[in-house]
Amino acid sequence: MSQTSIKLTHPAKEIKGTVQLTGSKSESNRALIIQALSEGKVQIANLSEADDTVLLTRAIAAANEAGKGQVVIDIGPAGTAMRFMTSYLNLLPGDFILTGTERMQQRPIGILVDAWKEIGADIHYQKKSGFPPLHIEGKLFQHKDTVRIKGNISSQYISSLLLSAASLKKGLTLEIDGELTSRPYVTMTLHMLAEAGIQHNWVGQQIQIQPQKAKEATLYIEPDWSAASYWYAMVALSENGEIRLPGLKKNSLQGDIAIVDIMQHFGVETVFEEKGIYLKKTEASSDKTLFDFKECPDLAQTVVVVAAALRKNVSFTGLETLKIKETDRIAALQNEIGKFGAVLTEDNAVYHLDSSQVFQPEHISIATYEDHRMAMAFAPLALVFDRVHIEEPQVVEKSYPAYWDHLQQQGFLIQ
């Protein structure tokens, strides 16, 4: 899909059926690094089809095929790939330039680079200090096996270090400074490493991984709970909605399973079945007014849009990392929900949503800011408003390439 914009309508305002989601991008990208470091012992099943995962697959292949001379690895807009490759390339012999899109070169990487420099890596910035592109001379000589890293930064920095830790000659101990943000993503990383035979010791603020080899294993990738969140939004905003999402598990490793609890406050009931989940719109009401996204920041855009469309006045915490994602997601949300009268304001790290002036526009055009989650979070508004235009719709390919096809299957008309 290469249109500059699409128009969404949904005449029936009802959804019903089954949607088969792609594998989790978060699990897939971790599995790729684990596999790459396993010396052929780890296999992967149900790998994500998301662009980010495709880009990471290609980046790993390019790095492993590197011969003499400098190799340029361009991971485009894939933030997870940038963080994971920043660690992975230190373990390989070679001379690498790791770069990405213009926006990627504006996203900070300094905390992770500083950690690797402490360990013994040879990394330099090609342009602006603290940001990609990076020049990495691989096959580091390790002279330190303990590093301290702030807990309130992106969990991808921590996961990146943990994924490579067992391959270091002395292993690695991470000392987490302060409260850990997005803890479920760190837990996911450690669980997946354990599935591949890499053991860890996590006591208090310290995570230790000794040098060790992976064992024979197949990592099965669960469908993506982040992708599922958009179907929760559609059920919530429909006049009558029910949907089945096969493969999702009650004991998921993914932090975005938090959507189950959050969306019950917006009238969506979740039933865990033998082969997945069943979602149904209910008339249940809730007086909950504060939602914390510290451990599931990728759900924030979806929930803010739903709350605004349902004219709820609620508040949100845990949004600190949203400003350094694919775009400044706070500013993007403020701009776009403002187009139908909702207002999001900040007060000491608490964000208040005022939906008292929400109105129904004849049509609305949503800018996506090169951010896949902006497109997918706002598209369900077609179940509330008559016409919704989504600019740059191809951005969904980053994490959910089949998104528009799935919407059409559920009665959305796309022009």
- Alpha-carbon gap, residue 244 to 231, rounded angstroms: 9
CATH superfamily of 25-220: Enolpyruvate transferase domain (3.65.10.10)
The H-or-E segment that residue 44 falls in is: strand 42-45
- Alpha-carbon gap, residue 223 to 210, rounded angstroms: 31
pLDDT at site 2? 56
Beta strands in 48-117 (DSSP E): 70-74, 95-99
- Alpha-carbon gap, residue 262 to 286, rounded angstroms: 11
Q: Examine the residue annotation and report whether 122 is marked as an active-site residue of this protein.
A: no
Distance of CA 215 to the CA centre of its chain: 28
Question: 192-196 — which CB contacts under 8 Å span 24+ positions?
Answer: 192/27, 192/30, 192/31, 192/34, 192/219, 192/253, 193/34, 193/162, 193/163, 193/166, 195/219, 196/34, 196/38, 196/41, 196/42
pLDDT in tens, the chain (415 residues): 457 999 999 999 999 999 999 899 999 999 999 999 999 999 999 999 999 999 999 999 999 987 778 999 999 999 999 999 999 999 999 999 999 999 899 999 999 999 999 999 999 999 999 999 999 999 888 989 999 999 888 889 999 999 999 999 999 999 999 988 878 899 999 999 999 999 999 999 999 999 999 999 999 999 999 999 999 999 999 999 999 999 999 999 999 999 999 999 999 999 999 999 999 999 987 999 999 998 898 999 999 999 999 999 999 998 887 776 777 898 999 999 999 999 999 999 899 999 999 999 988 999 999 899 999 999 999 999 999 999 999 999 988 999 999 999 999 999 9
pLDDT at site 319? 87
Given the residues 224, 298, 354, 405, select the one marked as catalytic.
298
- What CATH architecture applies to the domain 5-23+222-414? Alpha-beta prism (3.65)
How many other CB atoms are there within 10 angstroms of residue 137's CB atom? 16
Q: Domain extents for the chain?
A: 5-23+222-414, 25-220
Read out DSSP for 178-231? SSPTTHHHHHHHHHHHHHTT---EEETTEEEE-S----SEEEEPPB-HHHHHHH
Match 């528009």 to its residue by tokens.
Answer: 404
Q: Token digits for 228?
A: 């599922």
- Alpha-carbon gap, residue 380 to 383, rounded angstroms: 6
